[in-house]
Chain A
């Protein structure tokens, strides 16, 4: 296979919500799971994908919801109305950056203290973390191998970056992967 370059996308809009629930509030969790059509992941850093939405456990009482196409906010809010819960629109708060290719994981290691080994951060992992000076949500979309080979060409990551930082954060990543100097203010 030809060696592909590491690719960094431009900041792109994203649909996203935060779901806050007390994890041992059984009726509230059941109502949310019924509305979403999936079981909420309980282990921090793990993502579950349903038909309409991907769900990443960010904290014991906090989930990131990534809807695909249709609105999940309103039905979820309605289902949770009687419960102690919060559904917060955050799609405008973030822009998404995609980073893929053989140098992607190494580039992220320049700024993230997470263990990004292929077995430690496989596809379907995600975390709120720091990348350099930036607070990001980092998610692994695809992984080329399981740690037994050195093949990294198929690695793909998505970063949710606070909107105000998106230009600066993309510049930082571009510098790390050698794409060019970052924009000066």
Chain B
């Protein structure tokens, strides 16, 4: 029931628990502990997907993380999760998985026609064919997109919950093989906080089926026991299904953890850990390489070590009639295991002409060993049926003798082993080329990063254990923890350790068919040769031109062979060619897990003012200002948006209104040097400000452009309160801190952001004084002499200690009243109650914006657009002449005085009822479609209910000289054109009589 190729009594699967799952529309059963790959292999399933470019049939190649071909999509109740490795996907009841890259279906794939067109699809094909003539790509793209892409885009929420978290450790151990376990044990014994990341669910999987002993126990049992001891230690965190994806500066590692272990709440399917470790032991092992022979991608061609792995871990025979081909001694261990399982290889082709003792031993055991032979043909398109073996010339790769055909159902290949040095390289630690194994090994300098086991070239069991032990102690020492005396490394018995040393030809040239270097991206040996012929020599360029190793498997099983081919093509040593730069992630991490579980609402946290609940309950239409939500206006029943704004503006101009300005940034500056500091920061003079008075001020960037504007109030000789625009307060605070810490030596001043401490309401309109008087406590004189424009008073308002600044952003008589934030809602409601007899209305940011445009007040980010100078904005009279301040020298730049600069002006349509076009440009020719220079553009505009016409502010070339003239405001995209008059940038009460009354 769990498949005809399942053998009794082997593997770690739980045979008491049958699991039903569905793949590509068919129902199967496996056991708990199976991966999708092992369960499918047990049923003899060969074809599991189609390749990216040629849509060739593909099967399962590997055992785990290295799998290049068997990528499937998992269907969840609420979405699809693409590109999962079948070799890493545990089966569970109800699992539904589907093949990828095939339309309409896996067995009859339309895109396979691309395979027939293959001679016309060389490397760089897209660049060469479709990018010219210019513009044609848009036509081709429609057809190409349908056939291209790796897997489907995820649907819904991808069916998966994600999380992310931070963690800290003394020692991170990446890898749970013999070296990793040994390192974790010794580091933990030294007292270190250890995080052990296991790539799978089980430790030291390659020890399974190995007739070896460690510390007197069967090797696999020792590994289980070691893991249990580690898990019981409160200082040790064992993470199963955890892939260390990135190594960054200062001991930061990212780990992608699948399953419940990664998330303490055990609700996430994948969690990204950001781990800060004082030291690390990289024990990431080595991955078997493919061999380069014709049609080396056919379903049923697998890594030899994977065939052994399926046998030992899952009790699954990859095939009943195997053939093995290799260039090193490890294939003989696989052969003997297969023979023991009742499926002796039909043939073993060893590419080495004189393979040595291991081959002789296998031959004496009765296995058919063909020395110096390689594969020249693979029969069977959707499943291997037979292979043809022939003697291969080690120098040329050509056949030089009789071809033998062997019927088979699986072909195991071993091209040697590639140490997984990605993390070592990411951590900027050295690697070195080892010619014996034909690959690079980790050689960290031994500070905070250590390597042990196969990744460092120690393939023998006893050496891996000893190195792991040493590396664990060294890492603990680097974390400041001394090892107790008398600790010894775990010892293995003196068993056989097959050598990973390779020999024989790199490439079998004999025979026809593609020799794939990268199965996921369909990169062949011919593609690499083409890239070299076309002048791409650097491995970085070859990689990008051919896409070698750029798939989700990062070319684990083929890259080293590709590098060797490039080296041979260049006639250089492999060590001289080097590897492409290893960048994070070393293995795929779901985008969802990088984002984490942040609900959308929390990704952009919402800031609420103290009166927010009142706004929400009273018809406020909210707008976002930075992260704050602010009432844009308050809509009454039956009102349109514009009706509401017009009503609010008219109410403020005729009676009074109140607006919540709690979001305004507030910064306190205190200290004996505060006046000097502020004079250094503002372009106008503020140090001379009397106590109890406020002043409008502008800070410039060092390049002379306004950074922000606001009001400076002097609370005492050494104590100032600054306001900053809602969205700019952090920038302004940084600017101030830079001035304090680095600008002027020995400046004695403290700056503190107090935005959140205060609630502020702005009360504006001709009746504002009367409303405030009704709330003012005894002794708070609001008379024009006691509290003149830009005056400051402290006292009780509505029984709350308050600070009042008489400042107007509307052009009306206005007061900004600040109280401690906890009393903010009290103040707001008291003002509305006291204002009711005067016809008060709350107003929002839209109405505030209309009134400031009517007054021609600038906003940083609109009129002050990062290019306009104080002079351009008509503020030159504010610029202090007799002091030095940030930006002062830049104001003297010749370019700032050249003619043709855009200056702030007012704009209004000549026809009274016409409206200014959104984003309109000011031009001479009224035709919106005409090609002509833009003389300027609208920065803000609105309907003015006060004037009953459309008005706007604009930045216009030589604008002040054009006041009184007429131009056209055009929007080419909307096809609009409006004749406009250029006027001074103040539409209402230019003398300021209303605000100063």
Contact = CB atoms under 8 A, between A and B. Distances in A.
Interface in B594-634: 596-599, 601-610, 622, 628-629
24 contacts: A22-B748, A84-B672, A88-B752, A92-B820, A93-B755, A93-B757, A106-B165, A113-B276, A114-B166, A132-B598, A132-B602, A132-B605, A147-B193, A148-B234, A163-B822, A164-B608, A165-B607, A167-B606, A172-B598, A175-B599, A178-B267, A182-B599, A182-B602, A185-B606
A109 B267 contact: no
Given A84-B671, A185-B629, A168 B605 contact: yes
Contacts of A18: 752
B166 A112 contact: yes
Contact of B754 (A93, A106, A110, A134): A93
Contact of A113 (B274, B597, B752): B274
A103 B670 contact: no
A65 B250 CA distance: 33
A150 B264 contact: no
A69 B56 CA distance: 77
Contact of B610 (A111, A163, A185): A163
B493 interface: no
Given A20-B750, A110-B164, A112-B166, A185 B757 contact: no
B167 interface: yes
Interface in A142-185: 147-150, 162-165, 167-169, 171-172, 175-178, 181-185
Contact of B601 (A113, A149, A168): A168
A22 to B, nearest CB: 8
A8 interface: no
A184 B605 contact: no
Contacts of A171: 601-602
Given A86-B668, A147-B234, A92 B821 contact: yes
Nearest to A117: B168
A33 interface: no
B318 interface: no
A89 B607 contact: no
A71 interface: no
Given A132-B602, A164-B628, A86 B166 contact: no
A92 B822 contact: yes
B605 A165 contact: yes
B759 to A, nearest CB: 8
A177 B599 CA distance: 14
B748 A84 contact: yes
Chain A CB count within 10 A is highest, among B608, B610, B755, B756, for B756
Contacts of A183: 601
Given A115-B168, A185-B606, A93 B756 contact: yes
Given A103-B264, A115-B276, A172 B602 contact: yes
Contacts of A167: 606, 608
Contact of B599 (A103, A134, A149, A181): A181
Interface in B273-291: 274, 276
Chain B CB count within 10 A is highest, among A18, A103, A109, A169, for A109
Contacts of B165: 106, 109-110
Nearest to B820: A92
Contact of B605 (A85, A110, A133): A133
A180 to B, nearest CB: 11
A168 B601 CA distance: 8
A171 B607 CA distance: 13
A10 interface: no
A92 B757 contact: yes
B820 A169 contact: no
B754 A120 contact: no
The 10 closest A-B pairs by CB, nearest first: A93-B756, A164-B607, A106-B264, A115-B168, A20-B750, A92-B821, A92-B820, A93-B757, A86-B670, A168-B605
Contacts of B609: 164
Interface of A: 13, 18, 20, 22, 61, 84-86, 88-94, 103, 106-107, 109-117, 120, 132-134, 147-150, 162-165, 167-169, 171-172, 175-178, 181-185
Given A20-B670, A175-B597, A88 B602 contact: no
B234 A168 contact: no
Interface residues of B, number: 48
B842 to A, nearest CB: 19
B265 interface: yes
A132 B603 CA distance: 9
A168 B606 contact: yes
B817 to A, nearest CB: 15
B885 interface: no
Interface in B811-856: 820-823
B73 interface: no
B725 to A, nearest CB: 16
A12 to B, nearest CB: 11
B570 to A, nearest CB: 45
Contact of B756 (A94, A107, A132): A94
Interface in B714-757: 748, 750, 752, 754-757
Given A86-B670, A133-B603, A134-B605, A164 B752 contact: no
Contact of B750 (A86, A120, A148, A165): A86
Chain A CB count within 10 A is highest, among B167, B168, B267, B602, for B602
B235 interface: yes
B19 interface: no
Nearest to B613: A167
A172 B166 contact: no
Interface in B646-673: 662, 668, 670-672
Chain A CB count within 10 A is highest, among B167, B276, B609, B757, for B757
Contacts of B604: 133
Contacts of B459: none
B822 A13 contact: yes
B670 A120 contact: no
B332 interface: no
Contacts of A20: 670, 750, 752
Contacts of A176: 265, 597
Contacts of A107: 264
B347 to A, nearest CB: 55
Contact of B821 (A103, A163, A168): A163
A132 B165 CA distance: 10
A168 B603 CA distance: 10
B293 interface: no
Contacts of A94: 756
A61 B749 CA distance: 11
B937 interface: no
Contacts of B752: 18, 20, 86, 88
Given A20-B670, A103-B265, A147-B235, A133 B821 contact: no
A115 to B, nearest CB: 4
B653 to A, nearest CB: 31
B163 interface: yes
B516 interface: no
Contact of A88 (B610, B622, B668): B668
Given A93-B754, A103-B265, A164-B756, A110 B601 contact: no
A183 B602 CA distance: 9
Nearest to A164: B607
Contacts of B310: none
Contacts of B264: 103, 106-107, 109
Interface string B498-534: 0000000000000000000000000000000000000
Contacts of B629: 185
Contacts of B823: 92
A84 B749 CA distance: 8
Nearest to B662: A164
Nearest to A95: B822
Nearest to A112: B166
Interface string B582-601: 00000000000000111101
Chain A CB count within 10 A is highest, among B235, B610, B750, B823, for B750
A96 B969 CA distance: 53
B758 interface: yes
